[in-house]
Amino acid sequence: MSRVYNFSAGPAVLPVEVLQEAADEMLDYRGTGMSVMEMSHRSKAFDNIIKEAEADLRKLMNIPDNYKVLFLQGGASQQFAMIPMNFMKNRKAGYILTGQWAKKAFSEAKIFGEAVELASSADKTFTYIPDCSDLPITDDMDYVYICENNTIYGTKYHTLPNTKGKLLIADQSSCFLSEPVDVTKYGMIYAGVQKNVGPAGTVIAIIREDLITDDVLPGTPTMLKYKTQADNDSLYNTPPCYGIYICGKVFKWLLKTGGLEERKKINEAKAKILYDFLDQSKMFKGTVEKESRSIMNVPFVTGDKDLDAKFVAEAKAAGFENLKGHRTVGGMRASIYNAMPTEGVVALVDFMKKFEAENT
Ligand code: PMP
Inform me whether the pLDDT recorded for 1 exceeds 90: no
The answer to whether residues 161 and 210 belong to one domain is yes
Confidence band for 132, pLDDT divided at 50, 70 and 90: very high
Which of 79, 101, 149, 176 best tests ligand 1's pocket when mutated (most atoms within 8 Å of CB)?
101
Residue 32 assigned ligand-binding role? no
Residue 335 CB less than 6 A away from ligand 1: no
First to last CA, the chain: 36
According to the annotation, is 205 in a ligand binding site? no
pLDDT of 327 reads 82
- In a domain, residue 4? The reply is no
Of 198, 223, 256, the domain-final residue: 256
Give the model's pLDDT for residue 302.
96
Ligand 1: residue of 151, 152, 188 to mutate (most ligand atoms within 8 A of CB) is 151
CATH number of the CATH domain containing 202: 3.40.640.10
pLDDT digits (tens, 9 = 90+) for 88-117: 999 999 999 999 999 999 999 999 999 999
pLDDT on residue 328: 80
DSSP state of 131: P
Residue 141 is predicted with a pLDDT of 98
- Say if residue 250 is in the same domain as residue 135: yes
How large is the average pLDDT for residues 35-50?
98
CB-based contact 79:224 (threshold 8 Å) = no
Q: Is the ipTM of this complex over 0.90?
A: yes
Answer yes or no: do 50 and 165 share one domain.
yes
Q: Please indicate whether residue 139 is annotated as part of the active site.
A: no
How far is it, in rounded angstroms, from Cα 204 to Cα 247? 10
Q: Are 194 and 203 in contact (CB under 8 A)?
A: no
**Is the domain of 67 the same as that of 143?**
yes
CB atoms within 10 A of CB 271: 20
Name the phi and psi angles at 178, rounded to 5: -90, -15
Identify whether 116 is part of a domain: yes
SS3 state of residue 330: coil
Asked whether 349 and 277 are in contact (CB, 8 A), the reply is yes
Query: Relative to the CA of 9, which ligand 1 atom is closest?
Result: 8
Within-domain flag for 5: no
Q: Could you tell me the residue range of the domain that residue 162 belongs to?
A: 16-256
Q: Does residue 8 form part of some domain?
A: no
pLDDT of residue 310: 97
Whether 221 and 262 map to the same domain: the answer is no
- Is the Cβ–Cβ distance between 193 and 171 less than 8 Å? no
Residues 202, 337 within the same domain: no
Nearest to 90 by CA among 142, 50, 47: 142
- Tell me: pLDDT of 25 over 90: yes
210 and 84 in a common domain: yes
pLDDT on residue 2: 86
Q: Residue 30 and residue 53: Cα distance in Å, rounded?
A: 16
Residues 33 and 149 in one domain: yes
Residue 101 catalytic?
A: yes
Q: How confident is the model at residue 329 (pLDDT cuts 50, 70, 90)?
A: confident
Gap from CA of 147 to ligand 1 centroid (Å): 10
Q: Is 11 within a domain?
A: no
Q: Is residue 332 part of a domain?
A: yes
Residue 1 lies in a domain: no
Which ranges of the chain does DSSP label H, i.e. alpha helix? 16-24, 44-61, 75-87, 100-110, 226-231, 241-256, 259-280, 305-317, 342-358
d(CA 165, CA 347): 46
- Determine whether 171 is an active site residue: yes
Counting atoms of ligand 1 from 1, which one is nearest the CA of 152? 5
Q: Which of 68, 92, 156, 195 is catalytic?
A: 195
Q: For ligand 1, say whether the CB of 234 is within 6 Å of any of its atoms.
A: no
Give yes or no for residue 148 CB within 6 A of ligand 1: no
The last residue of a domain, from among 192, 223, 256: 256
Report helix, strand or coil for 325. coil
Please tell me whether residues 185 and 318 are part of one structural domain: no
Does the pLDDT at position 268 exceed 80? yes
Rounded-to-integer distance, Cα 289 and Cα 273, Å: 17
**Is-contact 141 92, C-beta < 8 A?**
yes
Q: Are residues 78 and 170 in the same domain?
A: yes
The predicted-structure confidence for 68-84, as pLDDT tens digits, reads as follows 999 999 999 999 999 99
Distance, CA of 40 to CA of 55 (rounded, Å) = 21
Cβ within 8 Å of residue 75, ≥6 positions away: 192, 200, 201, 203
Q: What is the pLDDT of residues 140-157, one digit of tens each?
A: 999 999 999 999 999 999
Q: Is 101 in the pocket of ligand 1 (CB under 6 A)?
A: yes
Query: Residue 314's pLDDT band (boundaries 50, 70, 90)?
Result: very high
- Give percent above pLDDT 90 in the chain: 98
Residues 235 and 316 in one domain: no
CATH of the domain at 300: 3.90.1150.10
Establish if 216 belongs to a structural domain.
Answer: yes
Give the DSSP letter of residue 45: H
| Whether residues 188 and 321 fall in one domain | no
pLDDT of residue 265: 98
Number of domains the chain is built from: 2
Which pTM does this prediction carry?
Answer: 0.98
Of the three residues 256, 283, 304, the one that is the final residue of a domain is 256
Pocket test for ligand 1, best of 106, 173, 195 (most atoms within 8 A of CB): 173
Please state whether the peptide bond connecting residue 11 to the residue before it is cis, i.e. omega within 30 degrees of 0. yes
